[in-house]
Amino acid sequence: MKKNYTSKTQAYKLQPGSYIVGKWHKKTYRILKALGQGATGTVYLAESNHRFVALKVGEDNMAIAAEVNVLKHFSKVQGQVLGPSLLDVDDMQLFGKTISFYAMEYLKGKDLLTFIRERGHEWVAIFIVQLLGDLDRLHRVGWVFGDLKPDNLMIVGPPPRVRWFDVGGTTLFGRSIKEFTEFYDRGYWGLGTRKAEPSYDLFAVAMIMVNCYYPRRFDKKNDERPIQQLKQAIGQQDGLRPFRHVLLQALQGKYKDAQMMRKDMMDVISKQSSYEKQSVEKRVVKQQQRRRARTKRKASYLVEIFLISTFLLLIYVLYLYGQLL
**More confident position, 93 or 318:** 93
DSSP 192-219: S--B-SHHHHHHHHHHHHHHHH-TT--P
Angle, helices 244-251/198-213, rounded to nearest 10 degrees: 140
Of the listed ranges 29-38, 164-173, 203-212, 268-277, the least confidently predicted one is 268-277
pLDDT at 322 over 80: no
pLDDT at 1 over 90: no
Instruction: Identify the structural domains of the chain with CATH numbers, from first to last.
Output: 8-105 (3.30.200.20), 110-270 (1.10.510.10)
Amino acid 115: pLDDT: 97
Spatial CA neighbour of 258 closest among 273, 246, 240, 243: 246
pLDDT digits 0-9 by tens, 202-232: 999 999 999 999 999 999 998 889 999 999 9
pLDDT at 280 over 80: no
Amino acid at 295: T
Of the listed ranges 211-215, 265-269, 274-278, the least confidently predicted one is 274-278
pLDDT at 6 over 50: no
Of the listed ranges 38-52, 162-176, 200-214, 279-293, the least confidently predicted one is 279-293
pTM confidence score: 0.78
Amino acid 33: pLDDT: 95
User: pLDDT band at 236, cuts 50/70/90?
Assistant: very high
Element housing 250 (H / E)? helix 244-251
Residues with Cβ < 8 Å from 204, sequence gap 6 or more? 145, 148, 149, 184, 185, 186
Q: What is the mean pLDDT of residues 296-305?
A: 70
Residues belonging to the active site:
147
Spatial CA neighbour of 135 closest among 77, 65, 188, 195: 77
Q: How far apart are CA 139 and CA 171, in angstroms?
A: 10
Share the mean pLDDT of the chain.
87
Residues with Cβ < 8 Å from 107, sequence gap 6 or more? 54, 84, 154, 156, 163, 165
Amino acid 5: pLDDT: 40
Of the listed ranges 49-53, 62-66, 117-121, 262-266, the least confidently predicted one is 62-66
**Which residues does residue 89 pair with via DSSP β-bridges, in sequence order?**
102
Identify the DSSP state of 25.
T
pLDDT at 4 over 60: no
